[in-house]
Structure 1
């Protein structure tokens, strides 16, 4: 099956493909709001109908205790591929900041080019539909797909995915594939596509330190009475050394160095560290002193304080020694770092620094390991070359500073790696008012998936 007529079909069908995407975007499938429960079901039903129109004859809405999954299968030959996307979206609030109604999508001209504007345009309906439209084009031209393709669309990604792991476990045999494909990431820049091969894990910890049994007058008790804020400040300050390294014993166990080949690829991206920091009003890099910004974001673990509370923080001034002080602290993990060992090391650190008359309560907020894809699998280099053929600049293997739990679940629950390819831009305003998806990203994203399907099928 040849690729060129498939690409020509995609080009000719772009207007209709855009109209289909906007029809899906009109459904306010907000998974976090119970008022939109029926809308989530409607979005799932819309996708089932669309998949069936292509040829996924067994496409179905699969109800869960939360919002539905959508599944389907097509193809008889070639490798088995599982494509994942999510059809639920973030709430549109604050509505007054939208220039156009969030669920009345439109194509508009901007100085940077034409964009599709509306909630879900980039996260994740536009991304999801790039793959669907690539399948549509293959079937329209050749009557079939070049590989065996399974679909899994989720409706709870924006609300914590409570039904996802049970669904994966209950349907493991049907969902397991040679490789998972995920389209929920972005381009490195507007002309440089990327395959995300490293996702950082996450550990969240909240601590509450209690000293006196009530708030105290600082004039009457300041000095002899322990101050939980001072205790908390010492604990936090001791988490890093003067070179930006985390001091917890064993913290760097399982942290790998990136390969020379990957380092050269990243250096070739031309990342402007000064512009990156300057864009948020900063000028000097923090963190580990001997690491580049890209390396710190993509391939190094972190410990960050996300919030502190204690004492009086209202208007005016109140001379008080607080009874309690609290902090929320997160750890981003890489490589083979063990989330539970990190949590235990942090709690031991806190306990070791507690003075007499102070107690601490710990509240865990999730723990997930990092995901590292096996890029020595030839499929990854094959896909990288296919992407490079579509975009102006060669594609790169990149890391991601955040976490995408589904990739980890595919590994732990189904035993398969994931290839994360997305076409979002940094200015797409996902989760914010006026979200958009570049029409160029949508068009070239469809063409990119068509190319990837072709080369993955060819290599078998």
Structure 2
């Protein structure tokens, strides 16, 4: 007979105690981007190490050239094994005068009738999220004496400063980090009532292109009308990157792009995301994405091309009648499915060069080229986790894609050959990285219950 009901009841009864434990961790100002707080970062790592050790984990601090990694193991021979990732470092709190309360003195307050939140730096990102998983394990062990799966914990202290030392740590500890699947709790829900699993992350190609014409800047009164203007050339090329339907015109760009299943499209349609809802919050009304695609497809499952910066010639105060010698732009492509980032990078360069008039050249810098990551739709772990979330929240859990990237997920796939489920309970209004960061008490409580259900499901 399942002991899950007893575990869930313990989580309900222990909510105040779990909140007190989270608060004690939140009080440690583990800001990784400021060396003045590095001793506090180590103290936060040690706090978690000790807590995991109290749950029967073999826990230690893995040293790196920067902040230590909390590494803990609780194996269960013969059972599936999961790797849980999170981070204990937090963002700086500036500007301090915009906080309503002290950022490292957590407070619980009611922001709407029946809606309580915990306010502190790190409440959502990511200490509160990490502790949902830890508390689920605590209650499960207390009620059953064990966990239904083997668990390895990897919680780093440099996520907010780029995770610069994590790939090397993962590579050097690959054997110790082996698992059937990775779990990450650093994402969010669809809305306050609808749980979500982020099952895909778009890849990225980021380049800088520089168009060169004359060997120096020119007087436009003398050379205008005859000498090529690189700003004009670059502008024409950039303008041609999309056709009138919003599709990207680089030859071969859509090779490897896969269509979502009909059931996935139906799930997304049921979410009812509108232009007014999504774009209205930023002062816009209309999507300029691919025609014939739902808005949610445009931002989650379709590849994109965006110019992130463009410059050339005189941009200072007043006037200077000059034709620039060169003009530059930074261009990023978000990739999906099986698009090959190296092929995309090469195709973009070929596309630019094919449009250059005589006497004009182009130079490129490739800053990044990473593929998209996706959990197979028929993954048993994804199916079980989704069912567990649906059972807890009473609303069908959705699988979504992220337009952004979570570098550690790529590291797990590239270095460990492991898929990742991103299950988080953050909300859009949690003010992550901003003053008055908060985490809904319902997210913290039902997040614990959700992980208890997921652990049970993955071990069944």
Do the aligned partners of 1:181 and 1:420 also contact (CA within 8 Å) in 2?
A: yes
Instruction: Give 1:75 deviation, angstroms.
Output: 4.3
Q: Counterpart in 2 of 1:301?
A: 303
Q: Counterpart in 2 of 1:335?
A: 337
Pairing of 1:375-394 with structure 2 (within 5 A)? 375-394=377-396
Pairing 1:217–2:215 present: no
Q: Counterpart in 1 of 2:74?
A: 74
Do the aligned partners of 1:338 and 1:369 also contact (CA within 8 Å) in 2?
A: yes
Instruction: Give 1:38 deviation, angstroms.
Output: 2.1
Q: Counterpart in 1 of 2:228?
A: 226
Q: Counterpart in 2 of 1:49?
A: 50
SS at the partner of 2:176?
helix
Instruction: Give 1:28 deviation, angstroms.
Output: 2.2
Q: Counterpart in 1 of 2:356?
A: 354
Distance 1:330 1:14, change over 3 A: same
Pairing 1:265–2:271 present: no
Do the aligned partners of 1:75 and 1:144 also contact (CA within 8 Å) in 2?
A: no
SS at the partner of 1:204?
strand
Distance 1:34 1:208 in 2: 37
Q: Structure 2 length as normaliser, TM-score? A: 0.95
Q: Counterpart in 2 of 1:65?
A: 65
Do the aligned partners of 1:75 and 1:145 also contact (CA within 8 Å) in 2?
A: no
Pairing of 1:411-426 with structure 2 (within 5 A)? 411-426=413-428
Distance 2:91 2:322 in 1: 40
Distance 1:393 1:253 in 2: 36
Distance 1:325 1:93, change over 3 A: farther
Pairing of 1:40-439 with structure 2 (within 5 A)? 40-56=41-57, 58-77=58-77, 78-111=79-112, 113-439=115-441
CA deviations 1:164-208 (Å, max 9, x no partner) are 222222111111111111111110111000111111111111122
Instruction: Give 1:371 deviation, angstroms.
Output: 0.6
Distance 2:326 2:102 in 1: 45
Distance 1:454 1:374 in 2: 21
Higher mean C-alpha displacement, 92-101 vs 422-431: 92-101
Instruction: Give 1:97 deviation, angstroms.
Output: 2.6
Distance 1:90 1:377 in 2: 34
Do the aligned partners of 1:75 and 1:146 also contact (CA within 8 Å) in 2?
A: no
Do the aligned partners of 2:275 and 2:286 also contact (CA within 8 Å) in 1?
A: no
Q: Counterpart in 2 of 1:26?
A: 27
SS at the partner of 2:143?
helix
SS at the partner of 1:172?
coil
Do the aligned partners of 2:274 and 2:295 also contact (CA within 8 Å) in 1?
A: no
CA deviations 1:361-414 (Å, max 9, x no partner) are 322222211011023122221211111111142111111111112222212211
Do the aligned partners of 2:279 and 2:285 also contact (CA within 8 Å) in 1?
A: yes
SS at the partner of 1:173?
coil
Distance 2:238 2:11 in 1: 54
CA deviations 1:308-356 (Å, max 9, x no partner) are 1222333444333223322111110000111111111111122222334
SS at the partner of 1:174?
coil
State the number of aligned residues: 457
CA deviations 1:236-290 (Å, max 9, x no partner) are 1121111111111111110000111111111122223322122211111111111
Do the aligned partners of 1:308 and 1:328 also contact (CA within 8 Å) in 2?
A: yes
Q: Structure 1 length as normaliser, TM-score? A: 0.95
Distance 1:359 1:440 in 2: 58
SS at the partner of 2:459?
helix
Distance 2:340 2:238 in 1: 21
Q: Counterpart in 2 of 1:14?
A: 15
Distance 1:129 1:388 in 2: 21
Unaligned runs of 5+ in 2: none
Instruction: Give 1:76 deviation, angstroms.
Output: 2.2
Distance 1:209 1:360 in 2: 5
Do the aligned partners of 1:228 and 1:323 also contact (CA within 8 Å) in 2?
A: yes
CA deviations 1:79-138 (Å, max 9, x no partner) are 111111111222223333323232232222212721111221111111111101111111
Do the aligned partners of 2:3 and 2:143 also contact (CA within 8 Å) in 1?
A: no
SS at the partner of 1:19?
helix
Higher mean C-alpha displacement, 429-438 vs 58-67: 429-438
SS at the partner of 2:271?
coil
Do the aligned partners of 2:74 and 2:152 also contact (CA within 8 Å) in 1?
A: yes
Q: Counterpart in 1 of 2:450?
A: 448
Instruction: Give 1:296 deviation, angstroms.
Output: 1.1
Do the aligned partners of 2:185 and 2:424 also contact (CA within 8 Å) in 1?
A: yes
Distance 1:447 1:20 in 2: 17
Distance 1:193 1:229, change over 3 A: same
Distance 1:66 1:366 in 2: 23
Q: Counterpart in 2 of 1:2?
A: 3
